[in-house]
Structure 1
Amino acid sequence: MKKLVGWGALFVVLAAIVGLPWLMLDDAPAVEPPSQFRRADLAWIKSLFEKHDPRGQTPGVVQTVQLDEADLNRLLNYAVELRRVSGIAAELDPGVATLTATLTVPSLCPSGCTPFGRYLNLTAEVVEVPGGVRIDSLQLGSLPLPGALADWTARLAHRWLRRDPTYAALSDAVVRIGFGENQATLDYRWQPELLTRIERKSAELLIAPDDQARMLAYAERLDALLKHHPRGSTVPLVNVTAPLFDHALQAGADARGENRAAITALAAYLAGISLPRLLEGDSHSIRRAPPVLLSLHGRRDFAEHFVISAALSVNGGSRLANAIGLVKEEEDASKGSGFSFTDLANDRAGVRLGQRAVGDAADRVRQQLALAHTDDALLPDFRDLPEFMPQAEFDRRFGPVGSPRYERIIERIDARLAAHPLTR
């Protein structure tokens, strides 16, 4: 009899092991991935950050962010793009948020076959309670879990995560999370040093240790190349790219990794970010003004557009890099310097360089950059393109973005890039 009970228990366990994936995994995603970010989406996210930029907040004062359901989902989809989650969405009701996420499950064989579904769909009901929120229910595919178990697991994970100082500081900054009809509210109390903590934690999580070491080596090499120039002087970009990428040639066989590290270090310098402070230091800020400025075809803004777009491309994706470049130019048309096809051309050139630098042409790009000794070797001269146009002038001359007149200029830019040895 005891043997029978033992075999019965073993059968139940085996059935659970085999059956749970059938219940948890689905053939179709509950949330479709976002198809494409529009320029308006990126502009909205940028304006949201600028509105709530913690560097402009009074320390210790409670601030509030309110988002309706559409905007919250737009923000969540932006996170999906960066974190490569398949899809995520929220529905907001008074006191309750229903969160649904879809994760793509890795296949079990090289051909992509799997005996179960391809998607793990998770749905959680999160309710507002005094002093915080509680998971009221959780479902993995067709498998419901007791709400008490899900909430206990989440609280256990929260206590474990609080061992990390950055997570603990972020958690302590949150005063209240609330849900209303089609609206989510976050009350937070910001402290100035928290932004630097978040930046450092992001770098720690997103940049592998080997890549961090490479970036620091290129940052050190760049500082050594520029330290002999007077502070505040301007140096042609090509004067540093050639020795930097000559170093990359000597560094080893991983052309893609070396290219990514060198371009990222160069972009961080131009953006005023100290990689040693970001990856190693404990100072209150990771920012520093570049002691020596860099130029391309005699223009500092050209160097910035070209290199920073290349860095966005090697680290994130050319579609996002292109969109960010265009967002900036459309904003400049209504305020600031105006719309410049010159800047847009440099953005597109940087995106192409980034694509090639971490693609099949990585080793050839490394050699070309190591041998570049003139501005023309880095980039076509786009100074003949229209620039500094206020919105009214841009509309009069070219119409809306995407119009035939606008596209003719883009075709001219792309034709020059297609003919250039570094970006074709």
Structure 2
Amino acid sequence: MSRLLAWLGAVLLLLVASALFLVSRALEDQPLVTASDEVSAASISRARDILRRNDPRRLAPNTTRDVRLAGSDLEALLNFAARRGIRGAASLDLRQGGADVRYTATLPRLLADLGVGRFVNVEASLGASGGSQIDIEQVRIGRIPLPGALFEALLAQYIRHTDLAPEVALLKKTISKVAITPADVTVTYVWQPELLDSARNLALSPADQQRLAAAQRLFVDTLGRASPGSRKVALADVLGPLLQQAGGQPGADRTQAYRDVLLVTALHLSGRNISMLIPDAARWPKPRPVTLTLRERGDLAQHFVISAAIAAQAGAPLAKAIGLDKEIDDSQRGSGFSFVDLAADRAGTRLGQLAARSPERLAAAVAAGLTDAALLPPIDGLPEHMMADEFRRRFGSPEAPAYRQMSDEIDRRIAALALFR
């Protein structure tokens, strides 16, 4: 018996030593990829064009479509996904028939204090032979090389035991061809209506839907109490009480509560029905017809809240890029480029950052009371309604000195507000 215990102890010690050895080989002191928070307005514009061309509301079942994505846009998508999970950064290099992907996950600083590397660096070489399958040719995790076939087998086993298995199977059924060149990736797919339901299920879990239902009820109740009988209500008169009630719920995750009410309010202001995301929401309470205004303008309330919701959910760089892209688009075929709108975008982005990063500070601010002047600085002297030719004549481009000077002035005004100091 003692010999058996000694043997088991030796095996256990060997397993622990092997695990520690693998961890030491997998963790490194330096990142392979350095994170970048920049998201370009051009990338946002291209993504919007792709979504327009592939709007599921316009596609008949079994319609075959091609989606072409530039390497830089794919890299931006990878980095956006990386920021949603373990904090990390990704890079992508396309080549004929394949791609090289690099990813760095940043672990807690405590590991560095213990003398262990805090970066998990992953390198993968992918190949596309012209069919629908993307092959993993080889993988390296830190200093540990893994054969591509082994990694694919482990990944398949992992997916098989998660909720992702039905979605992956549907995706394989939908995609008929993947072609990779040094410039872009072209995906040929056959539209299946089930994809929309699958995307909704992945985006919003049942718990997410329950939280948003509660946020919708709170928004409807708060709007109903604000200036009864009036068709126009100041945004601060609704947003202040809404944030205060959402963040004050017993046991609530304050950051998540802020994200939920900002999303619900943004959907209302954008004219989008939340039932697009959650079909059951068609039966939820409806807000009374009212126009929310910021500095007595409905458009500024829209810009402010939509940017706040995007920044709270996805981060400030994306919110800023979307705001800039919207103004550039308006200069070409809309109401014209507006630095006033841009100021509302950026002020809303700052509020979204507060909600996500400093919820206690935001809670103290809303408890003290919000006013329109506390949310958006004075807008006098900021040019607006400039069509493309006038914008180029006066400010050149977003990289030109004249534009940067106006941009810095907006940032200075916003920074002067007590809420954002």
TM-score for the superposition, normalised by structure 2? 0.80
Letter in 2 for 1:409: M
DSSP-derived class of the 1:281 partner: helix
Residues 253-272 of structure 1 aligned to structure 2 (within 5 Å): 256-272=255-271
1:202 is aligned to: 203
1:76 is aligned to: 78
- Using the alignment, how far apart are the partners of 2:61 and 2:119 within structure 1? 43
- Using the alignment, how far apart are the partners of 2:347 and 2:157 within structure 1? 49
Letter in 2 for 1:152: A
Letter in 2 for 1:191: Q
* Distance apart, 1:419 and its partner CA: 4.2
Matched-pair contact (CA < 8 Å) for 1:88–1:102: yes
Q: Which residue of the other structure, out of 376, 380, 391, is the alignment partner of 1:379?
A: 376
* Unmatched segments (≥5 aa) in structure 2: none
Q: Deviations over 1:374-402 (max 9, x none)?
A: 64454345265321101211222233335
Matched-pair contact (CA < 8 Å) for 2:378–2:413: no
* Distance apart, 1:190 and its partner CA: 1.7
Q: Which moved more, 1:403-412 or 1:334-343?
A: 403-412
State the identity %: 33
Residues 131-280 of structure 1 aligned to structure 2 (within 5 Å): 132-161=133-162, 165-180=166-181, 183-192=184-193, 194-204=195-205, 209=207, 213-226=210-223, 234-245=232-243, 247-248=245-246, 251-252=249-250, 256-275=255-274, 278=277
- Using the alignment, how far apart are the partners of 1:297 and 1:102 within structure 2? 44
2:332 is aligned to: 334
- Using the alignment, how far apart are the partners of 1:262 and 1:277 within structure 2? 17
Matched-pair contact (CA < 8 Å) for 2:224–2:288: no
- Using the alignment, how far apart are the partners of 2:150 and 2:230 within structure 1? 60
Distance 1:348-1:201 versus aligned 2 partners, 3 A rule: same
- Using the alignment, how far apart are the partners of 1:377 and 1:241 within structure 2? 12
Q: Deviations over 1:15-70 (max 9, x none)?
A: 42232122222222233333533333333333343344434434311111234544
Residues 11-26 of structure 1 aligned to structure 2 (within 5 Å): 12-26=14-28
DSSP-derived class of the 1:79 partner: helix
1:60 is aligned to: 62
Distance 1:79-1:290 versus aligned 2 partners, 3 A rule: farther
- Using the alignment, how far apart are the partners of 1:58 and 1:279 within structure 2? 21
2:43 is aligned to: 41
Letter in 2 for 1:173: T
2:318 is aligned to: 320
Letter in 2 for 1:139: R
DSSP-derived class of the 2:280 partner: coil
DSSP-derived class of the 1:344 partner: helix
Q: Deviations over 1:333-380 (max 9, x none)?
A: 222111101101111221222334452522222224xx44x6445434
- Using the alignment, how far apart are the partners of 1:90 and 1:234 within structure 2? 49
1:303 is aligned to: 301
* Distance apart, 1:182 and its partner CA: 5.1
1:364 is the counterpart of 2:361: no
Q: Which moved more, 1:34-43 or 1:387-396?
A: 34-43
- Using the alignment, how far apart are the partners of 1:46 and 1:25 within structure 2? 38
* Distance apart, 1:330 and its partner CA: 1.9
1:99 is the counterpart of 2:101: yes
* Unmatched segments (≥5 aa) in structure 1: none
- Using the alignment, how far apart are the partners of 1:409 and 1:361 within structure 2? 29
Aligned-CA RMSD value? 3.9
* Distance apart, 1:325 and its partner CA: 1.1
Letter in 2 for 1:269: H
1:350 is the counterpart of 2:348: yes
Letter in 1 for 2:117: G
- Using the alignment, how far apart are the partners of 2:163 and 2:258 within structure 1? 36
Q: Deviations over 1:181-234 (max 9, x none)?
A: 5543311112345335413421329xxx4x765543231132245569999965
- Using the alignment, how far apart are the partners of 1:137 and 1:197 within structure 2? 30
1:124 is aligned to: 124
Letter in 2 for 1:203: L
Aligned length: 412
- Using the alignment, how far apart are the partners of 2:411 and 2:274 within structure 1? 33
Matched-pair contact (CA < 8 Å) for 2:41–2:325: yes
- Using the alignment, how far apart are the partners of 1:197 and 1:7 within structure 2? 48
* Distance apart, 1:180 and its partner CA: 4.3
Q: Which residue of the other structure, out of 387, 390, 393, is the alignment partner of 1:390?
A: 387
* Distance apart, 1:275 and its partner CA: 4.6
- Using the alignment, how far apart are the partners of 2:139 and 2:408 within structure 1? 51
- Using the alignment, how far apart are the partners of 1:218 and 1:39 within structure 2? 30
- Using the alignment, how far apart are the partners of 1:76 and 1:351 within structure 2? 22
Q: Which moved more, 1:349-358 or 1:231-240?
A: 231-240
Q: Which residue of the other structure, out of 26, 29, 54, is the alignment partner of 1:27?
A: 29
Distance 1:158-1:164 versus aligned 2 partners, 3 A rule: closer
Q: Which moved more, 1:254-263 or 1:227-236?
A: 227-236
* Distance apart, 1:302 and its partner CA: 0.9
Distance 1:367-1:50 versus aligned 2 partners, 3 A rule: same
- Using the alignment, how far apart are the partners of 1:7 and 1:218 within structure 2? 55
Letter in 1 for 2:294: L
Distance 1:353-1:90 versus aligned 2 partners, 3 A rule: closer
DSSP-derived class of the 1:297 partner: coil
